[in-house]
Structure 1
Amino acid sequence: MRILILLAALTACAPVPPAETPAETPAPGNCSAGAANGLVGKPYSAEAAEKARRATGSGTVRVIRPGMAVTMDYRIDRLNVDLDEKDIVTRVHCG
């Protein structure tokens, strides 16, 4: 009986492992473009871009169309979605 009480006391003092987070979930505020690679080759939609933004952990999405002027600043929290003339996604990248 004493052994059971001792075992119960030791088990109660054991450290609790931290909750696991999925490996594909990026840190908030950082962009992880790999999570949005599924967009490449598909027609662009605002809904798909928002889903990709959440999946990549990005704060914003910038859609880049052919010939469009864009700034050269690098933002770690921005997902860029490059489109072709038919609004098909050709590339996703952070910056």
Structure 2
Amino acid sequence: MASLPTPPAEPQDSPDGYVGLRAAQAEQLARERGWSTVRSLPPGAIITLEYRVGRLNFEVADDRVVRAWKG
């Protein structure tokens, strides 16, 4: 039987540190810190809720990150 694949490691980074940053600055910083996927969303966007290792989500209003979370 084949072994289960090991998911890639997620950056040891707190999403709270991105709140208040401009959207472009936050995205660049997240990629520099090792996030493989960065998703910017408008407030109230309808999104899928599956957890994706290595993805960082930003809720952006008026070009500022107002909320950030993993997955």
Calculate the TM-score normalised by the size of structure 2: 0.68
Partners of 1:61 and 1:32 lie apart in 2 by 15
Inter-CA distance 82–35: structure 2 relative to 1 (3 Å threshold): closer
Q: For residue 92 of structure 1, what is the aligned residue in structure 2?
A: 68
Q: For residue 27 of structure 2, what is the aligned residue in structure 1?
A: 49
Structure ranking higher in helix proportion = 1
Aligned 1:1-95 pairs, distance under 5 A: 29-34=9-14, 37=17, 39-45=18-24, 47-55=25-33, 57-84=34-61, 86-95=62-71
Count of equivalent residues: 64
Inter-CA distance 49–81: structure 2 relative to 1 (3 Å threshold): same
Q: Which consecutive residues of structure 1, in runs of 5 or more, have no partner in the other structure?
A: 1-27
8 A Cα contact 1:35 1:52, kept in partner = no
Amino acid at match of 2:30: A
**Identity over aligned residues, as a percent?**
34
Determine which structure has greater relative contact order: mean sequence separation of CA pairs < 8 Å that are 6+ residues apart, divided by chain length.
Answer: 2
RMSD: 2.3
Inter-CA distance 36–53: structure 2 relative to 1 (3 Å threshold): farther
Structure ranking higher in strand proportion = 2
Q: Which structure has the larger Rg?
A: 1
Give structure 1 regions of 4+ aligned residues with deviation exceeding 2 angstroms: none
